[in-house]
């Protein structure tokens, strides 16, 4: 297949050398069964790449099963991956296939593989080497034929060095590595990809995009895009929807980047003179470390702020359902998540989680079960990981709206598309 046709077909856009090399590599490996390791920050296109490899392979008639190894609670990851026999643990009423069996004949995509608990890593190694595994509670050896694609946004070798990732598994996965560079390192891709997104959203929302100024263009290119292509896509969607039929100048664009630009952009950090720098950092390596720490913090902040919005929206609608007086002047559709979270924080300060202590929660109805779930989730996990919390919220929202994804996504304050992606990412049905 021609490279351009391939890129259009699988939505892996970009004309930079980096992307060309990625595409060439995908085309080289997709016909084989070789294990592929995808490396890159969040939002650079690891999922897209994994799907493209599968779709181009002879396994495409069968499924690609996507597993987020970091999002599955440690207690159930073994049975999720390898299945279990009936009665093998409390609650195992039926025998169940694991993800590896579901992927038999197809591809398994092990996302965030660096987060796999160590006791599971040894079992992964075995299934990768020989296709062999045991269901939980079974002494019968099972075998599968799967192609493995793994992904990580971390430096796996660092994890090997600090002892949290097995070296033998590292080498087993290190056969073909595809590095997806962050968007800021391939600036020439930004405008072409942005144009594609704008065209796509304009036709989806039946809106006409009036173009943007040179300064706005420069800003798009120089912005650091901590959320990479995912963020670029979101910004394009927001502009098309919220700035319908407006010419996009720098100020208009800035609104959609501002908060995040400040967080994400080292351009906005004060430039230090050499002596100031020396005062701040004793030597070069610590300043490089600072950069890494700073970047990590920024990425974490972006994730947390998304999660905060989801949590705030979701808890808000729970509270609104309970006819509790809402924030002054706020309506469920027009609220500042930051206001809500401070409001909620206050409530949380007032009680364990502030949910049950509010008077009108005392009348019993369906939502009480939900509140119990929320409470026990947080209590059990103390501080859950962002991904666990996100997954949990999504499950709660779907439960509440009887699986209606449109309503669930509205309650969570994310687009339906994002919800679909997350369902996929977390392997939720």
Ligand X SMILES: Nc1ncnc2c1ncn2[C@@H]1O[C@H](COP(=O)(O)OP(=O)(O)O)[C@@H](O)[C@H]1O
Q: Which residue is nearest to Mg ion (CB)?
A: 47
Phi and psi based region of residue 385 (left: phi greater than 0; alpha: psi -120 to 50; beta: remaining) = beta
Closest distance of CB 365 from ligand X, Å: 38
Residue among 42 and 187 whose Cβ is closer to Mg ion: 42
Are 85 and 92 within 8 A, CB to CB? yes
- For ligand X, the binding residue among 23, 47, 107, 181 (CB under 6 A) is 47
Beta-carbon-side half-sphere exposure of residue 17 (alpha carbons within 13 Å): 1
In the bound complex, what is the minimum distance in angstroms from residue 115's beta carbon to Mg ion?
13
Residue with tokens 């994804």: 405
Query: H helices within 149-248, ranges in order?
Result: 156-161, 167-173, 190-204, 214-222, 228-242
The percent helix, strand, coil of the chain (3-state, each to 5) is 60, 10, 35
Is 69 or 340 the residue whose CB approaches ligand X more closely? 69
User: How far apart are CB 423 and ligand X at their closest, in Å?
Assistant: 13
The nearest distance, CB 63 to ligand X, in angstroms, is 18
Please tell me whether residue 264 binds ligand X under the rule CB under 6 A. no
Six-digit token string for 323:
């006819």
Q: Which is nearer to ligand X, 56 or 319 (CB)?
A: 56
Nearer to ligand X (CB atom), residue 172 or residue 230:
230
Here's the x/- map for ligand X, 218-247, by CB under 6 A: it reads as -----------xx--x--------------
Answer whether 344's CB lies under 8 Å from 312's CB.
Answer: yes
* In 83-206, beta strands by DSSP E: 107-111, 132-134, 141-143, 147-152, 176-179
Among 6, 26, 39, 40, binds ligand X (CB under 6 A): 40
- Cβ-based nearer residue to ligand X, 42 or 60: 42
Classified as helix, coil or strand, 84 is strand
Tokens of 425: 């990412």
The option from ligand X, Mg ion, none interacting with 40 (CB < 5 to 8 A, set by class) reads ligand X
Contact, 249 vs 215, CB < 8 A?
yes
Q: Which of 7, 58, 67 is nearest to 30 (CA)?
A: 58
Task: Report whether 84 contacts 96 (CB < 8 A).
Answer: yes
Kindly state the smallest distance separating residue 267's Cβ from ligand X, in Å: 23
Residue 7 CB, shortest distance to ligand X, in Å, is 8
Strands 132-134, 141-143: pairing kind:
antiparallel
Question: Binding marks (x or -) toward ligand X, 1..20, rule CB under 6 A?
Answer: ----------xxxx------
- Report d(CA 123, CA 319) in Å as an integer: 44
Query: Which C-beta is closer to Mg ion: that of 48 or that of 348?
Result: 48
The listed partner (Mg ion, ligand X, none) that binds 230, CB under 5 to 8 Å by sort, is ligand X
In the complex with ligand X, which residue's Cβ is closer, 13 or 340? Answer: 13
The residue among 47 and 410 lying less far from Mg ion, judged by its C-beta, is 47
CA 215/CA 397 separation, integer angstroms: 41
Answer with the entry of Mg ion, ligand X, none that 12 interacts with (C-beta below 5 to 8 A by kind).
Answer: ligand X
Among 26, 29, 39, 45, binds ligand X (CB under 6 A): 45
Q: In angstroms, give the least distance from the CB of 48 to Mg ion.
A: 9
Q: Is 352 exposed, middle or buried (0-12, 13-18, 19+ CB in 10 A)?
A: exposed
Structure tokens at 27: 């085309």
Question: Binding-site residue total for ligand X (CB under 6 A)?
Answer: 16
Q: Is 114 in the site for ligand X (CB under 6 A)?
A: no
Integer Cα distance of 403 and 426 in angstroms? 16
Q: How far is the CB of 425 from ligand X (least distance, A)?
A: 7
106 binds ligand X (CB under 6 A): no
> Which of helix, strand or coil describes residue 331?
strand
CB of 417 to ligand X, least distance (A): 8
Partner in contact with 113, chosen from Mg ion, ligand X, none, beta carbon below 5 to 8 Å by kind:
none
Site string for ligand X, 174-193 (x = CB under 6 A): -------------------x
Q: How far is the CB of 196 from ligand X (least distance, A)?
A: 7
Does residue 46 belong to the site contacting ligand X (CB under 6 A)?
A: yes
The CA distances from residue 310 to 299, 321, 332, in Å, are: 17, 16, 13
The radius of gyration computed from the CA coordinates of the chain, to the nearest angstrom, equals 23
Q: Is 44 in the site for ligand X (CB under 6 A)?
A: yes
Binding site for ligand X (CB under 6 A): 11-14, 40, 42-48, 193, 229-230, 233
């Amino acid at each position: 297949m021609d490279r351009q046709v391939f890129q259009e077909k699988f939505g892996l856009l970009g004309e930079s050398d980096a992307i060309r090399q990625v595409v060439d590599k995908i085309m080289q490996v997709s016909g084989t069964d070789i294990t592929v390791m995808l490396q890159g920050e969040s939002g650079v296109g690891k999922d897209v790449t994994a799907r493209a490899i599968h779709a181009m392979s002879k396994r495409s008639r069968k499924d690609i099963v996507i597993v987020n190894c970091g999002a599955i609670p440690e207690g159930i990851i073994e049975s999720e991956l390898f299945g279990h026999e009936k009665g093998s643990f409390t609650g195992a009423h039926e025998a169940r296939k694991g993800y590896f069996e579901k992927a038999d004949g197809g591809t398994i995509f092990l996302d965030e593989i660096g987060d796999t608990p160590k006791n599971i890593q040894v079992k992964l190694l075995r299934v990768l080497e020989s296709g062999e595994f045991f269901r939980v509670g079974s002494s019968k050896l099972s075998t599968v034929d799967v192609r493995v694609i793994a992904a990580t946004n971390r430096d796996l070798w660092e994890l090997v060095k600090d002892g949290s990732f097995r070296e033998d598994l590292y080498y087993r996965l290190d056969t073909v590595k595809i590095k997806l560079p962050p968007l800021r390192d391939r600036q020439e891709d930004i405008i072409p990809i942005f144009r594609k997104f704008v065209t796509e959203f304009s036709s989806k929302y039946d809106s006409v995009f009036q173009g943007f100024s040179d300064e706005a263009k420069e800003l798009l290119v120089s912005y650091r895009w901590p959320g990479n292509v995912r963020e670029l896509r979101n910004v394009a969607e927001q502009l098309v929807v919220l700035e319908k039929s407006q010419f996009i100048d720098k100020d208009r664009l800035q609104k959609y980047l501002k908060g995040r630009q400040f967080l994400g952009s080292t351009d906005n950090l004060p430039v230090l003179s050499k002596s100031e720098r020396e005062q701040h950092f004793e030597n070069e390596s610590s300043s490089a470390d600072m950069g890494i720490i700073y970047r990590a913090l920024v990425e974490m902040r972006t994730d947390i702020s998304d999660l905060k919005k989801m949590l705030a929206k979701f808890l808000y609608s729970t509270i609104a359902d309970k006819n509790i007086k809402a924030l002054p002047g706020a309506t469920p559709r027009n609220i500042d998540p930051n206001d809500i979270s401070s409001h909620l924080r206050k409530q949380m300060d007032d009680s364990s989680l502030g949910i049950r202590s509010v008077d009108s929660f005392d009348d019993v109805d369906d939502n009480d079960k939900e509140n119990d779930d929320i409470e026990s989730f947080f209590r059990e996990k103390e501080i859950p990981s962002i991904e666990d919390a996100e997954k949990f919220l999504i499950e709660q929202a779907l439960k509440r709206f009887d699986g209606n994804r449109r309503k669930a996504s509205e309650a969570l304050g994310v687009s339906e598309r994002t919800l679909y992606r997350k369902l996929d990412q977390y392997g939720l049905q």
